[in-house]
Amino acid sequence: MLLEGIPISSVLVALVCTLLIYFVALSIYRVTLHPLAKYPGPLRYKLSSWLLLWQAYKGNRHIWHLKDHEKYGPIVRIAPNALSFNTDTALSTIYGPRNANVKKGEWYKTFDIAAGTYSSFTETDKDKHAAKRRWLSVAFSAECQRLNEPVIIDLLDRFCHHIEPSSDGWGASWNGSEIATYLGFDIMGSLVFGTDFQTVQNVKNRDLANSVLPASMFLYWISYLPLAMLVRPLLRTKLFEIVGGKPVVDNNRLIDFGHEQVLARDVEEKAGDLSGRKDFLSRIIKNHDKKTGWQPTQADLDTESLNMMNAGADPYSSVLAGIFFYLVHNPEVLQKATSEVRSTFASPDEIVNGTKLNSCSYMYACIEETLRRTAGVPSHLPREILPGGLNVDGHHLPAGTVVGVPAYAIHHTPRYYPDPWSFRPERWIESESVTRENIELARKAFTPFSIGTRQCSGRNLAYLQLKLTVAHILFRFDLRIDPDESSRGGGHLGMEEGREREDEFQMWDALGFGRDGPMIQFRKAAAT
């Protein structure tokens, strides 16, 4: 034999030396000869992508993105093969046109692999994605939104009755993140599945709602594993449930739940019992892509219905929690928004989609400003450059390069948003001090739902839900922060760097974001 007579220790030493030489050579290449070697960024990012995994695990990638851009400028090398941009022009180039020479990359394949197929969010093939968007369009049409608005309003009415104090004084203390999560889950459960979860009213019904974010956060950091392709096939196995623990179990429970809902609806559809249903699932189960003839499979229905519920509930809930936080921490803003709502409507029955609701420009500006401060996905949504390369901000980047624009970083860039750490709804309203050009520039960098052909399909629905929710709450209640727990939800000294601002709603980055607080109290408004 070739190695006969050679001590095993010598073989191991040779192997270690070979690996050491390889990694040293690879490191030198990445720093000096790699196509991205000229771009600024910390040395540790240039050498390895493992740090991205650690940041994703800790939930602070968005903070590091911002700090890196503040130090290195509008282009930062954040991994050996990845660049982060912080300009409106890069945002438009990377995410805007359908014919942009990029695609969603390998990172997305982790999220739906356990369900057996890719959703409209994770589908990397542009043509397949377009077919799925057309198929799903019936669920997000203006007609569907109009038919389901009474469902939203009914759930808001029940929510308001649940949080209403029994006396005329200040009521119990509520965790804004928790009640927003349960309300969002109830709304999307009704809209997508036609199911009344009653998570707001019944503590026993909250297990599924409480599992969505932990499952998402787990998949988020797992997706950054350098060897993620080896992990994906294991996500639905019992072995991985043991290794990954509760987040893996929760994710599998969610997949099973979506599957059960679709099976039940399929039985109804075959029996001809869907005529009176208005929910999203009933619409898409009967639909297909008329342009190509593509028909959804059982796995497509499972994945997409669950994706619609989760992707609809969590961003709405996180932004609503942010609205609670920023309103109670900015009393003048709260008073102005409340006065506008109460002077516009005479009763809760009037608070519906239409001219009056759309006239509440200051309330809407509060929503926009919260979306700026608490974008649903704070870090960038990666795109992989296709063969032929891509020109971004005057730089020609080679195929295979991963690029993106992190929402949290660009939303806190003074060029677009002067005094970015202040909560100022006025920045969205034209006035003597805010020009139309100021607002247009801010809009160019505004990406709470992404932009272009891959932006969130439920964007208009999310805005409608938020406007209805905020208007109903401000009309019916006075709000204040619980004086005994005034720090919940904000930053403070002693937290990690970048989390020291007491008046900033803290986010733990994921696909969505982790949050807690604020602790708020409601009091019945005198007018109602």
Binding-site residues, in ranges, read: 456
497: exposed, middle or buried (Cβ count in 10 Å: 0-12, 13-18, 19+):
exposed
- What is the C-alpha separation between 159 and 232, in angstroms, rounded? 39
DSSP string of 112-177, one letter each residue:
HGGGTS--TTT---HHHHHHHHHHHGGGSSHHHHHHHHHHHHHHHHHHHHHH--SSSS---EEEHH
Residue 35, token pair as written in the block? 């196509």
521: left (phi over 0), alpha (psi -120 to 50) or beta: beta
Annotated binding residues for heme, written as ranges, equal: 456
Cβ neighbours of residue 354 closer than 8 Å, sequence gap 6 or more: none
Cβ neighbours of residue 344 closer than 8 Å, sequence gap 6 or more: 356, 357, 359, 360
**Contact at 8 Å (CB) between 474 and 524?**
no
Among 370, 328, 318, smallest CA distance to 514 is for: 318
Residue 65, token pair as written in the block? 């993105």
Specify which residues 103 forms β-bridges with: 384
> Angle at which helices 246-270 and 298-328 pack, to 10 degrees?
120
Instruction: For residue 323, give the amino acid letter.
Output: I
